[in-house]
Amino acid sequence: MMSDKINARNITDNEFFYGHKACAGCGGSLAVRMALKTLGERTFIALPAGCMSAVGFNFPQLCFANNAIISTFAGTGSILTGMAAGAKALGLKDYHVLGMAGDGGTADIGIQALSGAIDRNDRVIYICYDNEAYMNTGIQKSGLTPFGARTTTTPAGKNEHGNLKNKKNMFEIVAAHDIPYAATASIAYIEDFIAKVKRASEVDGPSYIHVIAPCPTGWGIPVDETINAAKKMVDCGLWYLAEYYAGEFHLNRDPKEFTDVSEYLRCQTRFAHLTDEDIEHIVEGRDAKWAKIRREWI
Ligand SMILES: Cc1ncc(C[n+]2csc(CCOP(=O)(O)OP(=O)(O)O)c2C)c(N)n1
Ligand code: SF4
Ligand SMILES: [Mg+2]
């Protein structure tokens, strides 16, 4: 897909999300900040219950320069439809309708509203910032929590080794709707993320971006390790950078060699309990997934 080049050098100096109360090193706040810098001031943003709305709307202080609203937890997709219809009815021109929801708000409680918005073919951009748990309420497991992660609802001890389920694949679930544009991203590969947000803004219909945004508080990493953790996740093959458009998947990055999975896992306290067998199981899952990707997408 073509789009005017926008990158870390020529992106605007204007800030649209500042003064918020996110923890130091919060990956989600970086995703919101960079998405809004890419899309600009005439972006109407909806955020459901979750960390980004909790830290962004502190009455009487609104931390968004844009027109921003908190949606119901389950309703991001449907509120985007309403915003798009409202803007059209007012005859507005040159604007974007953006939703930014967490992994719980997207893959669990908000999945049917998102599915409906895609089905209605509304011109809306939906970004899931994925920190792999319900962070705002104290780190509970979501449908996007990975295998082995310790959360308050998937404890780890002698007999239990954290979450027993694999992460849902929201990117491929969304692609199965035959959406005009979907992508995966990581805040560690910020130029790739920015370019994908720009492409999404050029689509005449719904678009979806799934961006990994580590949470130092929930992952148990130092606050200055957010980007490194996000990078390691891509480089060790537990996340991939891809797009879906015109009915096909496109892999954006195909590492010749993966970095060490255990190095990625062991830098986070949420995985501290994992045994060598657990890690072997995770590596096997990674290899099976990449074999399928390389067979079917390249
Ligand atoms: C209907 C409803 N159920 C539960 C809640 C409580 N709640 C608020 S934020 C949140 C966690 C959101 O998790 P996620 O979507 O992953 O976003 P994050 O907090 O991780 O940024 C929950 C459970 C709510 N506000 N509304
Ligand atoms: S708990 Fe995590 S996601 Fe929430 S504001 Fe803090 S770092 Fe960000
Ligand atoms: Mg979350």
Reported as a single tens digit per residue, the pLDDT across 219-271 is: 999 999 999 999 999 999 999 999 999 999 999 999 999 999 999 999 999 99
- Residue 28 Cβ < 6 Å to ligand 1: yes
* Phi, psi (deg, nearest 5) at residue 81: -60, -45
Q: How far does residue 51's CA lie from ligand 2's centre (Å)?
A: 6
Q: How far apart are CA 213 and CA 164, in angstroms?
A: 22
Q: How far apart are CA 70 and CA 58, in angstroms?
A: 12
The closest ligand to the CA of 135 turns out to be 1
Structure confidence by residue, pLDDT tens digits, 42-71? 999 999 999 999 999 988 889 999 999 999
Kindly indicate the confidence band of residue 3, based on its pLDDT and cuts at 50, 70 and 90: low
With respect to residue 286, please indicate whether it lies within any of the assigned structural domains. Answer: no
- Residue 131 Cβ < 6 Å to ligand 2: yes
3-state secondary structure of 295: helix
- Residue 268 Cβ < 6 Å to ligand 1: no
Kindly indicate the confidence band of residue 26, based on its pLDDT and cuts at 50, 70 and 90: very high
Nearest CA to ligand 1 atom 3: 73
With respect to residue 118, please indicate whether it lies within any of the assigned structural domains. Answer: yes
* Phi, psi (deg, nearest 5) at residue 186: -145, 145
Residue 59: per-residue pLDDT: 85
- Residue 215 Cβ < 6 Å to ligand 2: yes
Q: How far apart are CA 224 and CA 158, in angstroms?
A: 31
Average pLDDT, the chain: 96
The closest ligand to the CA of 213 turns out to be 2
With respect to residue 11, please indicate whether it lies within any of the assigned structural domains. Answer: no
Q: How far does residue 78's CA lie from ligand 2's centre (Å)?
A: 25
Q: How far apart are CA 261 and CA 247, in angstroms?
A: 31
With respect to residue 244, please indicate whether it lies within any of the assigned structural domains. Answer: yes
Residue 40 has pLDDT above 90, yes or no: yes
Atom of ligand 1 nearest to the CA of 49: 9
Kindly indicate the confidence band of residue 144, based on its pLDDT and cuts at 50, 70 and 90: very high
Q: Report the CATH number at residue 234.
A: 3.40.50.970
Kindly indicate the confidence band of residue 7, based on its pLDDT and cuts at 50, 70 and 90: confident
Domain of residue 221: give its range: 27-146+168-251
pTM score over 0.75: yes
Residue pair 183/200 in contact (Cβ under 8 Å)? The answer is yes
| Total domains, the chain | 1
Atom of ligand 2 nearest to the CA of 54: 5
- Residue 26 Cβ < 6 Å to ligand 2: yes
With respect to residue 189, please indicate whether it lies within any of the assigned structural domains. Answer: yes
3-state secondary structure of 158: coil
**Residue 36 is encoded by which pair of tokens?**
């809004």
Average pLDDT on 282-293 reads 98
Residue 8: per-residue pLDDT: 80
Residue 2 has pLDDT above 90, yes or no: no
Nearest CA to ligand 1 atom 13: 134
